[in-house]
Amino acid sequence: MYEQMTPTLMFILTIVPIVFASPIAVYWFIRQDNKGARPLAYLAVTGLGISAIASTFIAVAYPMKTIVSSYPWLTIPGVFTIQVSFIVDFLSRYMGLLTAWLAFIIGVYALEYMAEDYRLGWYWFFYNLFAASMLLTVYSNNMLLMFIGWEGLGISSWALIGNWYKDDDELTFVGKLNDFVLGKPAWTTPSYAAYRAIATIRLGDMFMLGSIASIGLLTHTLNFTSINWASLINSIGTVGIAALLLLFLLGPFTKSAQFPFNDWLLTAMTGPTSVSALLHSATMVAAGVYIFMRLTLSLYSAGALTSSGVLITYLVIIYIGLLTALLGSLFALAVDERKVILAGSTMASLGLMMGITAAAPYLSNVVTIGEYVLPTAVLVAFLYLIIHALSKATLFLVSGHLIHETGTRFNIGDLELAKRMKLAFYSTIAAAITLGGVPPLAGYWVHAAMDDLVSSISQTVGWGSYALLVLASIAYVAFLARFTSLNFIKGGSVKHSEAEHGGLIMATSYTITATVALATVAIPFTLHVPSVLIEPGYDVYVVSIGVFLWVIFIIALMKPRAQSLSGLTTIFERRYYLQAFMDVVLAGFGKVLIEFAYLISHGIDVLFNTLTPSLFASFSRVIRRIQVGLLNQYIKYIYLATVVMLIIVLILVMVYG
């Protein structure tokens, strides 16, 4: 029954939002008129609402067991058949629910936020395509089908990050205007940010597609639930599987902004805030982590998660993830732009999700929820993904409202602003304490589980992993308090106010997501896995860390700025010079290569188009002089050549005897 219903539901989830957004795209193509286009924007959001209802049906009505629906798609004779295959399991049913509803709520917010935009048709078509592509990625059981959704995310992100392509409003930039490094701008415009995003993620996508093709050719299937990983490992060996997995994971690394592929994420804040909220909560950047979790489940189900090649790969990912978490937290703690701060924190959270998921092969314990069996590390990382998505969506939506209200993208705000924007202040506090890991909210129980998992594997993978986790957690909670304080308590008085932008629709949207984020405190107590989510939170050591995080939160709330760190602030504002390195050093190296290639090309061109023809022309002229048509002349030449050859032979005989 459920297998038969799944294709219809997948159509509703992935096609209906695009169909409902098409009228505004067509209208805008014909006539750029805001007044006429706005009603069609409501139609686009309606499509998202229908998709959200379909995801709710899947989450509520489907039994708690893995359901796979597969149908033949493309056949490669003598090799294998590629299938359209969808999966409803623990990950997809709740990730789909989260994605669809956040896309809808943020879409409602955008009805007001984007009402006067000069590109409404473009925005709404690609926004809905963005959401639909993520849902296709989430529910796909087939790697190629998943990759189609994956690429939809990429093209949509390019379109939306560069939505304000005119680059005519400093409010949409990232970085301080007129700040130069090595003669290059340290700030980023929307059009350039879109280019940097698509260029970075395409790099990882090429290797990912190659690895998908290799998996298909070697295993004769592309379905996550059907891949015989054990046989594949036996065929290509430890080094082979490690290389194959790392190539596959270059896609998730770039999309989920793992170090050193993270700079595009920080500059992607040039897009509309509603896009940032969706991109950073439950779509593109979360897609990389989600696919890593899906891959981990596939390896676990095939009994290959603890093979030596997989262990090596996952060890590398543990440290890349936790290092990314620390760098992202420090970045968020240092800079002064609202959305860029949140981007840094997203980078940190994605690093935590990657690092915790990668701990799965080093842990023997699993959890059972209904008929689902999950590695404990995957469950903990996934729950953190949910909490992060709701909290981060809230903080981004509040930031967009603040930018409209204050007329600046930099932190500013005091208690007067908090009184005037009570719902925004409430929502920021709710999201901050939920995400920060302070007791007794949901973030605390998940952080306690993370602490327990990483400490239990530290003797195997090294205590550096635990140190990175603790340092990242401290910096993370400090940034959340600092963000709250600089925008509502001690950020200075607001002189500029555009109250007409502070509508009820925007405020209602982020109030809903903030309240749901607070309500996630019930999750650890309703999953019936106390040994994973409850018991670690009662450990005296973990409780003391939770109390310490509360102290850090309060201190940072009261003293959000530290003048002694101004030097570090400059380094982080320039994103530790990574953009300058790419724009100057790498670009310069590329220019040298181009010049060298040009010289080689020019040399070949001269050789074959100038020198060689000239040589043949000269030889031809000599031949023409010799070829006179007189027999006695030819006999003279033959006689002369014969004499010369005889002389050479005599010389050789005399020399060599």
Per-residue pLDDT reduced to its tens digit, 453-476: 999 999 899 999 999 999 999 999
Exposed/middle/buried for residue 463 (C-beta within 10 Å: 0-12, 13-18, 19+): exposed
Give the list of residues 6+ apart from residue 83 with CB closer than 8 angstroms, or none: 70, 71, 72, 73, 142, 222, 223
Give the list of residues 6+ apart from residue 506 with CB closer than 8 angstroms, or none: 109, 112, 113, 397, 400, 401
pLDDT of residue 426: 96
pLDDT of residue 364: 84
Residue 565, pLDDT > 70, answer no
Give the list of residues 6+ apart from residue 5 with CB closer than 8 angstroms, or none: none
- Per-residue pLDDT band for 501 (boundaries 50, 70, 90) equals very low
Q: 67 in helix, strand or coil?
A: strand
Closest CA to 432 of 446, 416, 443: 443
pLDDT of residue 613: 80
Residue 581, pLDDT > 90, answer no
Query: Distance between CA 169 and CA 191 in Å, rounded?
Result: 12
Inter-residue contact 468 to 323 (CB < 8 Å):
yes
- Per-residue pLDDT band for 106 (boundaries 50, 70, 90) equals very high
To 10 degrees, the CA torsion angle through 429, 434, 439, 441? 120
What average pLDDT does the segment 320-341 reach?
90
DSSP state of 370: T
- Per-residue pLDDT band for 585 (boundaries 50, 70, 90) equals low
Encoded tokens for 137: 């990625």
Residue 568, pLDDT > 90, answer no
Residue 210, pLDDT > 60, answer yes
What average pLDDT does the segment 483-500 reach?
78
pLDDT of residue 646: 83
* DSSP-assigned beta bridge partners for residue 184: 181
* DSSP-assigned beta bridge partners for residue 69: 86
Inter-residue contact 520 to 442 (CB < 8 Å):
yes
- Per-residue pLDDT band for 582 (boundaries 50, 70, 90) equals low
Inter-residue contact 152 to 136 (CB < 8 Å):
yes
Helices (H), 69-189: 90-113, 120-139, 143-161
Exposed/middle/buried for residue 58 (C-beta within 10 Å: 0-12, 13-18, 19+): buried
Place of tokens 């989600």: 290
Closest CA to 48 of 114, 111, 6, 118: 111
Residue 325, pLDDT > 50, answer yes
> How do residues 517-559 score in pLDDT, each as one tens digit?
999 999 999 988 988 989 999 989 889 989 999 999 999 888 8
pLDDT of residue 627: 64
Rank 156-160, 259-263, 409-413 by mean pLDDT and report only the highest: 156-160
- Per-residue pLDDT band for 500 (boundaries 50, 70, 90) equals very low
CA–CA distances in Å: residue 413 to residues 74, 418, 573 = 57, 8, 20
Furthest-apart CA pair in the chain: how many Å?
A: 116
Query: Distance between CA 383 and CA 448 in Å, rounded?
Result: 12
Query: Distance between CA 566 and CA 263 in Å, rounded?
Result: 21
Helices (H), 256-307: 263-267, 273-281, 284-301
Find the helix or strand (DSSP H, E) in which 192 lies: helix 190-219
- Per-residue pLDDT band for 657 (boundaries 50, 70, 90) equals low
Inter-residue contact 356 to 454 (CB < 8 Å):
yes
> How do residues 588-647 score in pLDDT, each as one tens digit?
666 777 777 778 877 887 777 777 788 877 777 766 666 656 667 667 767 777 888 888
Inter-residue contact 312 to 239 (CB < 8 Å):
no
To 10 degrees, the CA torsion angle through 146, 148, 150, 154? 180
pLDDT of residue 122: 93
Query: Distance between CA 40 and CA 618 in Å, rounded?
Result: 75
pLDDT of residue 278: 92
271: left (phi over 0), alpha (psi -120 to 50) or beta: beta
Inter-residue contact 488 to 425 (CB < 8 Å):
yes
Query: Distance between CA 521 and CA 443 in Å, rounded?
Result: 8
What average pLDDT does the segment 71-91 reach?
86
pLDDT of residue 496: 56
pLDDT of residue 373: 93
> How do residues 159-204 score in pLDDT, each as one tens digit?
999 998 888 888 888 877 777 776 677 778 889 889 888 888 988 9
Query: Distance between CA 650 and CA 657 in Å, rounded?
Result: 10
Q: 23 in helix, strand or coil?
A: helix
Average pLDDT of the chain is 88
DSSP state of 500: G
Cα 201 to chain centroid distance, Å, stands at: 8
Straight-line distance from the first to the last Cα atom of the chain, in angstroms, rounded to the nearest whole number:
99
Least confident of 227-231, 297-301, 416-420, 502-506: 502-506
Q: 336 in helix, strand or coil?
A: coil
pTM value surpassing 0.85: yes
Place of tokens 């999201």: 431
Per DSSP bridges, beta strands 180-181 and 366-369 are unpaired
Residue 384, pLDDT > 50, answer yes
Closest CA to 557 of 493, 494, 486: 486
Percent of the chain predicted with pLDDT > 70: 91
Query: Distance between CA 227 and CA 245 in Å, rounded?
Result: 13
Inter-residue contact 82 to 73 (CB < 8 Å):
yes
- Per-residue pLDDT band for 60 (boundaries 50, 70, 90) equals very high
Place of tokens 């995400």: 435
Residue 47, pLDDT > 90, answer yes
Cα 654 to chain centroid distance, Å, stands at: 80
DSSP state of 373: E
To 10 degrees, the CA torsion angle through 129, 135, 141, 142? 10
Amino acid at 347: M
Buried b (16+ CB within 10 A) or exposed e, 559-579: ebeeeeeeeebeebbbbbebb
